[in-house]
Amino acid sequence: IQMVNAKSCEVFGWKRDELIGHNINVIMPPGIAEHHDSYMTNYIKTGTKKMIGTQREVTAQRKDGSIFNCKLGISETKESRLICGFILDVTTEKAAEAEILAKQRLTEKIIDAAFDALFVINERGIIEMVNTASTAVFGWSQEEFIGQNISIIMPPDHAANHNGYLSRYLKTGFKKMIGKEREVEARRKDGSTFPCILGMSEVDDLGSKQFVGFIRDVTIQKSLLLAQAEREASDSLLYNILPEHIAKRLKEDPSHIADLYNNTTILFADIVGFTDRTSVMSPHDVVVMLNDI
């Protein structure tokens, strides 16, 4: 070392006279220090430049033995062939980067922990992010989703028009779905469709718009509601065709109704065309029709 500046002493912890006259490897961590002279010798013999004229991130060692990240740039003076090294301590920047990465990982974990499927799309409707629930609900992998148009999860009649909806909103600013929830149909990878609740929100990131969609599969809830409606219609049918006390007893315990009410006859008469008509009807609609009759 022929010369150092005041900043070198501040960064590395040595005094100027402690550095002058020593090999530059005193500021290098073990594993690199012992090989440095051979790198220099090889350059002087061959003229092959690996580091000279470039800048890259390396680690350096302070006087107290602590290691830190830095950016190293090296140049050579033509007349004296002295090698000049410029070292920038990036400890603070690296800590900030690590904090940002940690927050990103935490955000990703939170998103993946959500029970609802989540999609992030850009202004062209291209999927940029999905969570684990999306793959479970729809059957595509995350790799298959990324880069595809969001219309792949829509039934054909909606898929064909989706890009037009998005373009119209970007031009007019008129919101139909954004900021709201509504029930729609969605399509899985195998082509099957299912009812879901869709919520949409908009994120403006430095002038670039992104849209976040939250999708909740409500197949089970819809089935339960339908089953409840069928039970209510069936109960109504019982009370329509039987005396109230018999209907109530039948509802409570249908297993022995004939033995308990041996003086009651229930007549089931065939209705003309009943089988043909009801073969294309849901159970709920059949019970409603019988109630009407």
Per-residue pLDDT of the chain (293 residues; tens, 9 = 90+): 999 999 999 999 999 999 999 999 999 998 888 888 888 888 878 877 777 878 889 999 999 999 999 999 888 887 777 888 899 999 888 888 888 888 888 888 888 888 899 999 998 899 999 999 999 999 999 999 999 999 999 998 888 777 778 888 878 877 777 878 889 999 999 999 999 999 988 888 767 788 999 999 998 888 888 778 777 777 777 677 667 776 777 677 666 555 555 555 544 445 556 667 777 777 667 777 777 76
DSSP string, 98-119: HHHHHHHHHHHHHHHH-SSEEE
Alpha carbon distance 31, 118 (integer Å) = 47
Predicted pLDDT of residue 275: 66
Give the Cα separation of 212 and 210 in Å (integer): 7
Per-residue pLDDT, 272: 57
DSSP 50-70: SSBT-EEEEEEE-TTS-EEEE
| pLDDT on residue 288 | 75
Overall pTM surpassing 0.95 (yes/no) = no
* Nearest-angstrom CA–CA distance, 225 and 160: 31
Name the CA dihedral angle for 165, 170, 172, 176, rounded to a multiple of 10 degrees.
50
- Residue showing tokens 């350096």: 60
Given a contact cutoff of 8 angstroms between Cβ atoms, the answer to whether 126 and 119 are in contact is no
The confidence score (pLDDT) of residue 165 equals 80
Distance CA 38, CA 164 (A): 65
Total Cβ atoms within 10 A of residue 276: 8
The residue among 112, 65, 50, 62 whose CA lies nearest residue 89 is 62
C-alpha to C-alpha distance for 122 and 136, rounded to whole angstroms: 22
Quote the CA–CA distance of 65 and 28 in Å, as a whole number.
Answer: 10
pLDDT at residue 264, as a whole number: 52
